[in-house]
Structure 1
């Protein structure tokens, strides 16, 4: 992953395909009910002018103080997997999922990204990896530029190929989005999910990026759940209050109890991953450990039926 990936920031499938993608998520959810993404912790550390990666051992020691027992790291190369492996064991952490950045709209870069992602997956699978999350990069982070049709076609083709190759290795690919994919009639978002096979490409629903990308709309978020809910293998959990990311996960702009009800009605049980990140307007009242203790406590209430 590029650590500035937020700029410091379909039809329903055949039942057999749905069962295949959901089985991977259900397995991961049973193994480690609530995880947290590395990026959220990086935003807290950055606010305090600390470097999460400078002493990863010490960082993970703080991580486990929050009560979390599962971890979603971000990898850009195999060496990072090797560095993390002994620390997962030392801190008794599971790693059901990981995030890997990718550039898939360009043929040359796409080939390189696919090779890197597959190498990372093969190195991480012995550590418990079941789901590999990837958000194909935009043309330029922070830019309003959007991909043209030929780039979207190339990206969907590469996403499908990556997913099929990961599936052969026993890993589920989870397509993730930020807000840029929802621009221009959400053409990038829909093209990826309409032109990939649910057997090969699952969906990591980052509820707040869909909400924000659609102009802070719960109507749009829950329409996305209606369209693609059966493909959700992982859920990234973030809340805002007045459309500003909060320090902790709690009540706010997104109706998470409703989201739980709607996913349960679809018989979907994704891996739960906290990603309560900070942005410039976020409150500054608690440190990372306490914030994630509160996140975990509230998440256990909201998702109680899944735990």
Structure 2
């Protein structure tokens, strides 16, 4: 049964002001788990104690590409202490992705280190992986062709697949069996062509089709994320989970 979590980047400013209080609020809103991106100076033991207090599950962690390359053992050990195997590459700068073959080689090395320790490496996309090409494929498909599934799993940001010009439902189907996590995000396209992220159900992304496809692909977690919020982020994530409860909980397929 697919569970619903929150990518904590959405409430980054609140976490910086009050890390413990913000996590407690996220739990009160009804999210089952959280995906970290920063630990705000807390030890793994401190974070784990807070997770136990709130009943939240650590889904995994987005950690900077350079930090993973330089401090892989420490990063892996930290997330394993939180009870999660998932360590995720969240983003590549233009410089970092100037050579996709080098990225693939680094991901193989990181994936092997994760596998040795009992962790799982994933890669989280933006739209540029769908727009840039390598080896005759989108960079997205190229990475997963070059790095085997036992070394690299998929965290598909379905909104960015859509914004990149592809069908996220089709992409979910293509990676079924290699796709434990998705990001669930909505957007409105602006006059200049840019994307404004919005509360779930307020944009143009076909979330219902994505959720159905994710269920069929045996995705473990659908992770709500809103990169930028036009109103207070905690209000936005509250409205997003309410939308999920209203639209999907009655079907019995989504566990919130």
Instruction: Answer whether TM exceeds 0.5 for this pair.
Output: yes
- The aligned counterpart of 2:237 is 292
- Output the aligned Cα RMSD: 2.8
- Deviation at residue 174 of structure 1 after TM alignment: 1.5
For residues 216-270 of structure 1, give each alpha carbon's deviation from its aligned partner in whole angstroms, at most 9, with x where no partner exists: x3x44344334334321101111113464354212531212222333344x4223
Would the aligned equivalents of 2:44 and 2:82 in 1 still touch at CA under 8 Å?
no
TM-score, length of structure 1 as denominator length: 0.69
Q: Specify whether residues 75 and 120 from structure 1 end up closer, same or farther in structure 2 by C-alpha distance, changes over 3 A only.
A: farther
Tell me which protein shows more strand as a share of its residues. 2
Q: Specify whether residues 261 and 65 from structure 1 end up closer, same or farther in structure 2 by C-alpha distance, changes over 3 A only.
A: closer
Would the aligned equivalents of 1:100 and 1:117 in 2 still touch at CA under 8 Å?
no
Would the aligned equivalents of 2:111 and 2:152 in 1 still touch at CA under 8 Å?
yes
- Deviation at residue 36 of structure 1 after TM alignment: 0.4
- Deviation at residue 76 of structure 1 after TM alignment: 7.2
- Secondary structure of the 1:53 match is helix
Asked whether 1:233 is paired with 2:233, we answer no
Q: Specify whether residues 68 and 225 from structure 1 end up closer, same or farther in structure 2 by C-alpha distance, changes over 3 A only.
A: closer
Q: Which runs of 5+ in 1 are unaligned?
A: 1-25, 46-50, 104-111
Asked whether 1:100 is paired with 2:47, we answer no
- The aligned counterpart of 1:34 is 4
Would the aligned equivalents of 1:238 and 1:245 in 2 still touch at CA under 8 Å?
no
**Equivalent of 1:90 in 53, 57, 80:** 53
- Deviation at residue 40 of structure 1 after TM alignment: 0.9
- Deviation at residue 117 of structure 1 after TM alignment: 3.5
| Most deviating of 120-129 and 241-250 | 241-250
- Deviation at residue 86 of structure 1 after TM alignment: 3.1
Asked whether 1:132 is paired with 2:82, we answer no
- The aligned counterpart of 1:117 is 72
Would the aligned equivalents of 1:81 and 1:120 in 2 still touch at CA under 8 Å?
no
Would the aligned equivalents of 1:78 and 1:123 in 2 still touch at CA under 8 Å?
no
Give the aligned length.
245
TM-score, length of structure 2 as denominator length: 0.81
Question: 1:117, 1:36 → 2: CA distance?
Answer: 24
Q: Which runs of 5+ in 2 are unaligned?
A: none
